[in-house]
Structure 1
């Protein structure tokens, strides 16, 4: 896959312009965003990501576009689950509603910074040691099992010693919120970065998929406040996706060390197109099942 310097420059220009616009918009209008406004902005950011996928298809090729879409969908879905914890954090720290936008922008900036570091490290390690996919895949299978049985939810968040220390020092709820988001961003990256490397080894695709997924989180946060109780099967769907990617990583590692069959059984190679179709299908089934469940429950 040939990613030119021009493609990098265009992508970074788009992402930089969107982040700056979002930052000044949040600073100029420090208030709680209404669900309708949040929904319209969320649609805009989704359309922006889809437009970038079309750009990649034209400039780089269909494989790059499909890898970006699969990675973006996975990261976006994981981000939705993570936003539920942000809601709990802001509530627990009693952050004023009008300061939530600024805290979210700071959290997004920290997430981009930390993930850029993790992506660089991950790309280097994978380039040198393809067998590390065995470790990544096993970790994702464990995470999927933990998530599927109900672990890793909102109820797992607690202040911890770091926040407790700064709280005793008299740090404001806004400052505490930024520290809490920074810590959780690092923890979330441990799950999300191995997951997307299971879909593509191209660092450009990994970073842009992460960036486009993160940039729309401020608006999505306020939308989820109204929808949190309706996405009842999201964690189950994410568990299935992570398990699938974990298995894909293990199979790639096996082929990387020339272990292509077990006895007479040939080990398959899972392609990008199949991965994209699988992820879209799981998310669609998860969404429909959640809607049906909440309607039957009278929510």
Structure 2
């Protein structure tokens, strides 16, 4: 398999086609997706990613390792999928903060995710250019991921509250320069205000749906600051970096509704993601040492340190996720048996309803 301009154009066109199909088949008419609908389409996009990974497994390899890029894709896809699940917690916060009715949430998610993928493509190409020009950038990637992992774990231990999307600078700026209506107008993104005196037409104003999708796009862009270095710790092929991100984001809207009500049960997921980011950070630093060019480290020569094979990375990442999910399920069931927080609390987060009072045990 040869990754040339035609390959890139065809791949981007196919990915864009799935987003367009998703919009016209599911999102254009506002409705609340059922659990069955979300489950089937989530399974469809996972199967699609598996088929694509299988295609790379068969057609694109390296001398002596014919399945190398296939392994890299599956490792990267699982990593990006796990990191994207963490995005869903923030998406739920945004939906609750803007009190978006459930039947309009699909449109906000799809457009926001599509914008995020465009931004990620820019990041990926920039990252590839930087790596090509300066291979020691892996030191910075590794240190950044270690910092992110420590911060993520610290925030969980100290129970640091998430940032309110209304406090984001871009959201405050958007509301200052462009009129935003105080109420929703169906699933419209913009409406005409009543005509002002002396004018034939009223001014164009955005609805809160636009503000919410901008918040989702920006939040996902911030998550890309973690996920892009993480995937470059698994593969240096920009094509695999892009496709793993694209397939992870393609089914994210369906996964949001599929996991609705289950997000609060994954109590240890942030800890698992922190460990994964830390693991990849160490892997990146070892790789940088192995190909060192910095004069103040070993006189600019390579440092003989072991590198973590991609297959081992796959095993470690899957193992961490399995332990995290199982431990979360066990803890949640134990807490419910002891009269802990009921699962229905999560519905208030995603619908904007008032929080129910804690039930007495």
Same fold (TM over 0.5): yes
1:26 deviation in Å?
A: 2.7
**Does residue 182 of the first structure (1) align with residue 217 of the second (2)?**
yes
Matched-pair contact (CA < 8 Å) for 1:35–1:226: no
CA deviation after TM superposition for structure 1 residue 18, in Å: 2.0
The equivalences for 1:247-262 within 5 A come to 247-257=282-292
1:158 aligns with 2:193: no
Secondary structure of the equivalent of 1:127?
helix
1: CA distance, partners of 2:59 / 2:10: 11
CA-atom RMSD in angstroms: 2.2
1:111 aligned residue (116, 124, 133): 116
Residue of 230, 233, 242 corresponding to 2:265: 230
CA distance in 2, matches of 1:234, 1:108: 21
Q: How does 1:1-299 map to 2 (within 5 A)?
A: 2-3=2-3, 7-8=7-8, 11-61=11-61, 62-151=67-156, 155-160=162-167, 161-167=169-175, 169-170=179-180, 171-257=206-292, 266-298=304-336
Q: CA deviation at 1:166?
A: 3.2
Distance 1:10 1:284, change over 3 A: farther
Aligned partners of 1:199, 1:165: CA distance in 2, in Å?
37
Deviation for aligned residue 1:153: 7.0
Unmatched tracts of structure 1, length 5 or more: none
Deviation at 1:4, TM superposition (A): 5.0
* 1:275, distance to aligned residue in structure 2 (A): 0.7
SS of corresponding position for 1:49: helix
TM-score, normalised by the number of residues in structure 1 = 0.92
Q: Give the drift of 1:179.
A: 1.5
Q: Which stretch of structure 1 is more off in the superposition, 154-163 or 170-179? A: 154-163
Higher fraction of helix: 1
Say whether the 8 Å CA contact 1:67–1:199 is kept in structure 2.
Answer: yes
Count of residues in Structure 1 that have an aligned counterpart in Structure 2: 296
After superposition, give the CA deviation of every residue in 1:124-146 in whole Å (9 maximum; x if it has no partner): 00111111111110000010011
Larger Rg: 2
State the secondary structure of the residue aligned to 1:156: coil
TM-score, length-scaled by structure 2: 0.77
Question: Any unmatched runs of 5+ in structure 2?
Answer: 62-66, 181-205, 337-341, 343-361
Contact 1:85 1:154 in 2 (8 A): no
Shift of 1:8: 4.1
Higher-RCO chain (CA-CA 8 Å, sequence separation at least 6): 1
